[in-house]
Structure 1
Amino acid sequence: MKNKKTVVLGATTKPEKYAYIAINKLVEKGHSVLAIGQNAGEVAGVKIHTKQIPLANIDTVTLYLNPKRQVDYYNYIIETKPKRVIFNPGTENPQFYQLLQSNGIKVEVACTLVLLATNQY
């Protein structure tokens, strides 16, 4: 399995949230994880940053932010030039899809947890 450097946007320390579960599963599967969320903390040894940190060589950005909250991250994600952005359930945003695609970034409307569980990540 290839290590895919992944940014979890909308990270949280709340165990009942999908972003929390995703961080754990990504680490468990051997991926490098960077996490950005509203509140600082740590999940599975991954520090949650509260500000947009410099990023490089990112394979995947997986979103756990509703479309309104994504707007603040449009330029940040596009400038990071990830290979793909995964829109998890509840994060669907056709306006952002177009921006990403016009910048050569692949859009996947999928569930990170399902992709990991079925070895499609």
Structure 2
Amino acid sequence: MKNKKTVVLGASTKPDRYAYKAISMLVDKGHSVIAIGQNTGEVEGVKIYTKNIPLKNIDTVTLYLNPTRQRDFYNYIIETKPKRVIFNPGTENPEFYQLLKANGIEVEVACTLVLLTTNQY
């Protein structure tokens, strides 16, 4: 398995949240994780940042933000130039799909947890 440097956007320290579960599973599967959320904290040794930090060599951004909240991150994600952005259930956003595709970024509408569980990540 290849380590895919992943940004979890919408990270949470609440164990019942899917973003928390995604961070845990990504770490467990050996991926490098950068977490950005509303509140600071830590999940599985991964610090949650509350501000956009400079990013390089990102393979995947996995979204846990609703489409309205995503708007604040459009430029940040595009400037980061990830290979792909995963839109988890509830984050679907056709407007953002078009912007990403126009910038050569792959769009995947899927569930990160399912992709990891089925070795399709």
TM range (shorter): over 0.9
Q: 1:101 matched to which residue of 2? A: 101
1:69 equivalent in alignment to 2:69: yes
What pairs with 1:1-121 in structure 2 (closer than 5 Å)? 1-121=1-121
Scaled by the length of structure 2, what TM-score is found? 1.00
Work out the CA distance in 1 between the residues paired with 2:68 and 2:61.
17
The 2-side partners of 1:81 and 1:7 are apart by 12
1:9 shift after superposition: 0.0
Superposed CA offset, 1:33-70 (max 9, x none): 00000000000000000000000000000000000000
* AA matched with 1:109: V
Identity %: 83
Structure 2 residues not aligned, in runs of 5+: none
Using the size of structure 1 for normalisation, the TM-score is: 1.00
- CA distance, structure 2, for counterparts of residue 78 and residue 13 of structure 1: 26
What runs of 5+ residues in structure 1 fail to find an aligned partner?
Answer: none
- Number of matched residues? 121
C-alpha deviation, 1:13, in angstroms: 0.1
- The whole-number CA distance in structure 1 between the counterparts of 2:53 and 2:67 is 21
Matches of 2:119 and 2:16, distance apart in 1 = 23
SS of the residue 1:116 aligns to = helix
